[in-house]
């Protein structure tokens, strides 16, 4: 008896939508990145910059900083009161800026393909014959007589079995893990922050002569 044809391993896998299994999470990660970048930019523009001027430019919000310098006297002893100066610094420069982005996407796909087919055929037949009949006959020739008796017994038994067994299992496990982390700032952003920092110009508000 022919069993169902088994699918080859290649056939089993060719039906999988690999493009969406892998592409889907990656597309979602790219969209998440765009959203994170947008949210961060909005926040920085709204909290670290003045509202846009008529020409659309924004100036950074400045905070006041206090610089203290210990003054050393000619004899090497420090003066009791240090010189104090003031300067302005863009608020942006003191924030621990990091780019937030998806830094890891892993797609785990596990598939188990199990197919088996077995055909067991068992034929057994046993025949038992036991016919039972009783007969008797008698014949006589002259003074002699013959008597014949006998018995015949017959039984018949036939058994036959045919087993076939087919097993197929497909199991699939699909795991997508997305992790977002803090990445170093792009070069362009660090250049802007450096430019702000380099422009630091202290203004002396109080000083003591050494």
Partner 1 sequence: MPYQQQIPCPHCQSVILFDAKLFVSGMRFRCSNPDCNTSISISPTSLNQAKDVFENYESQKQTILQKSHSN
Judged by the rule CB under 8 A, the positions of this chain that interact with partner 1 are 32, 36, 39-40, 43, 47-48, 61, 63-72, 78, 82, 85-87, 89, 91, 93-96, 98, 100, 102, 175-182, 197-198, 200-202
Instruction: Name the residue nearer to partner 1 (CB basis): 21 or 32.
Output: 32
Q: How far is the CB of 175 from partner 1 (least distance, A)?
A: 8
- Asked if residue 12 lies in contact with residue 130, where contact means CB atoms within 8 angstroms, the answer is no
Written as six digits, the tokens of 176 are 């997508």
CA atoms within 13 A on the CB side of 168: 9
3-state secondary structure of 43: helix
Q: How far is the CB of 117 from partner 1 (least distance, A)?
A: 38
Instruction: Name the residue nearer to partner 1 (CB basis): 80 or 167.
Output: 80
Alpha carbons 203 and 23: distance in angstroms, whole number: 56
Q: How far is the CB of 102 from partner 1 (least distance, A)?
A: 6
Instruction: Name the residue nearer to partner 1 (CB basis): 67 or 113.
Output: 67
Alpha carbons 75 and 132: distance in angstroms, whole number: 143
Q: How far is the CB of 196 from partner 1 (least distance, A)?
A: 9
Strand 144-151 relative to strand 134-141: parallel, antiparallel, unpaired?
Answer: antiparallel
Q: How far is the CB of 63 from partner 1 (least distance, A)?
A: 4
Instruction: Name the residue nearer to partner 1 (CB basis): 26 or 100.
Output: 100
Instruction: Name the residue nearer to partner 1 (CB basis): 118 or 197.
Output: 197
Instruction: Name the residue nearer to partner 1 (CB basis): 7 or 28.
Output: 28
Alpha carbons 70 and 78: distance in angstroms, whole number: 7
Q: How far is the CB of 49 from partner 1 (least distance, A)?
A: 11
| DSSP type of residue 55 | T
Q: What is the DSSP string of 153-197?
A: ----EEEEEEEEEEEEEEEEEEEEEEEEEEEPPPHHHHHHHHHHH
């Amino acid at each position: 008896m022919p069993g169902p044809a088994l699918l080859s391993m290649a056939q089993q896998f060719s039906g999988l939508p690999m493009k969406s299994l892998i592409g889907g999470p990656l597309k979602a990660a790219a969209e998440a990145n765009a959203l994170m970048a947008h949210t961060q930019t909005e926040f920085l523009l709204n909290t670290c910059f003045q509202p846009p001027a008529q020409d659309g430019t924004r100036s950074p919000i400045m905070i006041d900083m206090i610089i203290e310098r210990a003054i050393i006297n000619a004899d090497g002893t420090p003066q009791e009161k240090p010189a104090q100066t003031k300067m302005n610094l863009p608020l942006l420069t003191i924030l621990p800026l990091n780019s937030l982005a998806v830094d890891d996407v892993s797609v785990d796909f596990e598939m188990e393909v199990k197919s088996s087919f077995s055909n067991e055929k068992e034929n057994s037949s046993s025949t038992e014959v036991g016919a039972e009949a009783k007969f008797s006959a008698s014949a006589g020739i002259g003074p002699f007589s013959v008597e014949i008796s006998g018995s015949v017994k017959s039984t018949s038994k036939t058994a036959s079995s045919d087993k076939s067994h087919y097993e197929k299992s497909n199991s699939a496990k699909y795991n997508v893990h997305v992790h977002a982390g803090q990445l170093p700032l792009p070069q362009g952003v660090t250049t802007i922050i450096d430019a702000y920092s380099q422009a630091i110009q202290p203004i002396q508000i109080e000083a003591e002569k050494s």
